[in-house]
């Protein structure tokens, strides 16, 4: 017997109240939440693959600007997200760029301007260009991946993959169940730590005390994981999970016209950016 569930009515589908707690309701401005997860994944994917092969600085900067513009308009901002986008990511790119510049072979860039010299070691402008071009490519790929990462949830991505990509539901929903173990383990680890602190177990400072504390966490954490896995397995068996080739979907994630428009518009914009900044410095 396949799993059944309530069917979304037209009123519920167009209201501002989401009947499912794990899905973010889209607003007219924050449009990325209303797109199919596969659309937000497929749209930046060609650009991310192309960025692996570019060698200039301008192309990743253009894709960074595109990704930041979409994120500023399409998702809701929090203080944490603002710190990641406007502080953590630029600082990390600057540090990575300088590191790559230091490790660049000087023999390949010794014809460029000298930027810094300490004794026999010289930092050339060409090395900085190579280092920061690489760092900007990494930052652009991360920024593009945030388009799907910040606008959708894991359950919706799994549901969309099962419904539209024909991923076997046995694989998709099993992976989803395993993924949901992670936050539960984090909560249980926090409870175990608090219990150990209350009882004064494995106190002290230093590496030996830290190792002893972690060994004290392993056994109760594994016991809790086994109990939770047994409950999940029993729940899946009770719902005849895997008994039939397909199952009835309670939560539909449709592919709409706006998803097609978004994917085509993003790919076209990416092609324009790559064309404008061609060649990519491969020679």
Rounded to whole angstroms, what are the CA distances from 9 to 6, 19, 51, 164?
9, 11, 43, 21
**What pLDDT score was predicted for residue 130?**
86
Binning pLDDT at 50, 70 and 90, where does residue 202 land?
low
Binning pLDDT at 50, 70 and 90, where does residue 203 land?
low
Mean predicted confidence (pLDDT) in 16-26: 43
Query: For all residues of the chain together, what is the average pLDDT?
Result: 81
**What pLDDT score was predicted for residue 10?**
37
Rounded to whole angstroms, what are the CA distances from 189 to 78, 108, 161, 185, 198?
27, 51, 32, 6, 14
More confident residue, 159 or 212: 159
More confident residue, 125 or 267: 267
**What pLDDT score was predicted for residue 55?**
86
Place of tokens 């998803």: 259
Mean predicted confidence (pLDDT) in 192-202: 78
**What pLDDT score was predicted for residue 15?**
41
Place of tokens 């099962």: 162
Residue 178 exposure: Cα atoms within 13 Å on the Cβ side: 7
The number of beta carbons lying within 10 Å of the beta carbon of residue 157 is 20
Q: Is residue 6's pLDDT more than 50?
A: no
Mean predicted confidence (pLDDT) in 160-178: 85
The span from the CA of 59 to the CA of 134, in Å, is: 11
- Dihedral of CA 154/156/158/161: which sign? negative
Q: Is residue 244's pLDDT more than 70?
A: yes
DSSP letter, residue 117: E
The pTM (predicted TM-score) of the whole model is 0.74
Q: Is residue 149's pLDDT more than 80?
A: yes
pLDDT in tens, 25-58: 444 568 899 899 999 999 999 999 999 988 888 9
């Amino acid at each position: 017997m396949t799993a059944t569930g309530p069917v979304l009515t037209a009123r519920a589908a167009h209201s501002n109240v989401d009947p499912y707690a794990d899905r973010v309701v889209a607003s007219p401005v924050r449009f990325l939440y209303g797109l199919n997860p596969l659309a937000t994944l497929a749209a930046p994917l060609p650009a991310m693959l192309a960025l692996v092969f570019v060698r200039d600085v301008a192309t990743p900067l253009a894709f960074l600007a595109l990704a930041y513009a979409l994120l500023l308009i399409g998702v809701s901002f929090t203080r944490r997200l603002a710190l990641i986008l406007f502080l953590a990511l630029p600082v990390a790119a600057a540090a990575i760029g300088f590191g790559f510049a230091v490790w660049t072979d000087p023999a390949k860039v010794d014809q460029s301007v000298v930027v810094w010299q300490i004794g026999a070691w010289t930092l050339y402008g060409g090395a900085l260009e190579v280092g920061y071009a690489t760092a900007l490519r990494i930052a652009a790929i991360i920024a593009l991946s945030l388009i799907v990462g910040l606008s959708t949830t894991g359950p919706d991505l799994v549901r969309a993959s099962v419904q539209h990509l024909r991923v076997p539901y046995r694989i998709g929903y099993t992976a989803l169940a395993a993924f949901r173990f992670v936050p539960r383990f984090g909560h249980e680890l926090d409870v175990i730590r608090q219990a150990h602190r209350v009882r004064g177990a494995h106190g002290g400072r230093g590496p030996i005390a830290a190792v002893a504390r972690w060994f004290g966490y392993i056994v109760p954490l594994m016991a809790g994981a086994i109990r939770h896995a047994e409950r999940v397995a029993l729940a899946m068996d009770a719902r005849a999970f895997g008994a039939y080739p397909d199952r009835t979907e309670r939560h539909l994630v449709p592919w709409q016209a706006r998803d097609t428009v978004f994917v085509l518009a993003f790919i076209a914009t990416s092609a324009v950016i790559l064309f404008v900044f061609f060649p990519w410095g491969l020679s």
